[in-house]
Structure 1
Amino acid sequence: LPLLAAPKPQEELIMYLSATHGAISAVLLTERGTAQTPVYFISRALQGPKLNYSPMKKLVLSLVFAAKRLRRYFQAHPIAVITDQPIKQVMSRPDAAGRLQKWSIMLGEHNITYIPRTSIKGQILTDFLNEIPNNASQGASVAGTQEEPWTLFTDGSSCVDGSGAGLILTNPDGVEFTYALRFQFAASNNEAEYEALIAGLRIATQVGVKNIQANVDSKLVANQVLGTYVAKEDNMIKYLEIAKGLV
């Protein structure tokens, strides 16, 4: 997994969860001032009996998966799970089923708090705006055919040292392919996001992916691709045309 931002010792980390019919995901972030910066993205395709879990149970499973996969972070940092779902209440019910009870005990080893999600600071990852979507097409994701989807996470950024991007492409079996890009030109944050999205879609095309859910770290880019926002600047129009040509 690529390290996108290094958390400080004992710094509280923020986690967003997502559960769809066929996959669970989580994003771990740091929050400094008004900025939330990704530390890790993780995603796993669901198979077999897990596909029949209830939406709430899948969401709890995404937290359990994150706690196991990112155990060293859960052990070294307090974790604030930002959620609009009653995860804690579901696990603490006296009549909780055996599996939920087991998960509750396992998660109880860590310093986890649950914070109601009343608003999102900026645009984290559009896939996480709906923790439990009503259907697979909900949220700011772009999907192709009905084959099992691959998942693309992008994080493009611009700073004084230059522009770059990180990509995580995950196949339906949960195998992750990671890429780091460095641009040889100055780019704004939105331009860097478009560059990252286009690079990720091109890589997916090259390996024959027919169905992909692309998640970007820019509200502007996400909504332009979805058609919610109109691209007005010449550079944004060109980027949008290229991105749509790859979807």
Structure 2
Amino acid sequence: MDPLKYIFQKPMSTGRLAKWQILLTEFDIIYVTRIAMKAQALADHLAENPVDSDYEPLDTYFPDEEINSIEEVGSNGNQAWQLYFYGATNTKGTGIGAILISPTGQHYPATAQLRFFCTNNTTEYEACIMGLNMAIDLGVQELIVLGDSDLLIRQAQGEWKTRDLKLLPYRQCVEDLSKRFMYIEFRYIPRFHNDLDDALATLASMLPYPENTYITPLEIQVRDQHGYCNTVEEEPDGEPW
């Protein structure tokens, strides 16, 4: 508590506080509580640093200020495929998702449900390994791997050592698979850039699969009209759905 506030606002002062209060009544003191220190710090700075003839105003113009981020793409960026991976764990189960994107923009999604215990890091490794195997099966030679797992990406880049015994075989598997590409690069991306893989992994973790089940890849349509405008009449063929 502020001492001056305590002295002036105490209804019945006794002893030494009463003596101080009587002595302070000699002065015209008005107590005001300081709410914020930022304005006072700015005022003190301006008082201690007066403006002189060498003062130059701050230039608030920043070129290219509308650009939020810049991603560097190497010489192989135009020919390389892109691999996005993600692992999801919830109360329903654990799922992984991976998407391969060709240089022409074709998407090849894959998802799987894990029926064994996995930590968050091992789930990310499972998703990455599934995506690498997909790229090898398609004969991809140049690949850029993008994921939001900072641990996996830095370990794959060789910046961080793998100390967890559970991750050692995963790290070795990723290293062996990486040798089968002519060019491979691991890059970290924020999670909000990995939404589609997140949706695939979450879908795999929540759907109840009895056994190995093949589901035709999802087709995402963009519709500009209401559903009743697209209704067409189909003739029954006698076959049950």
How high is the TM-score relative to the length of structure 1? Answer: 0.43
Q: Which protein has the larger Cα radius of gyration, Structure 1 or Structure 2?
A: 2
Higher relative contact order (CA 8 A, sep 6+): 2
How high is the TM-score relative to the length of structure 2? Answer: 0.44
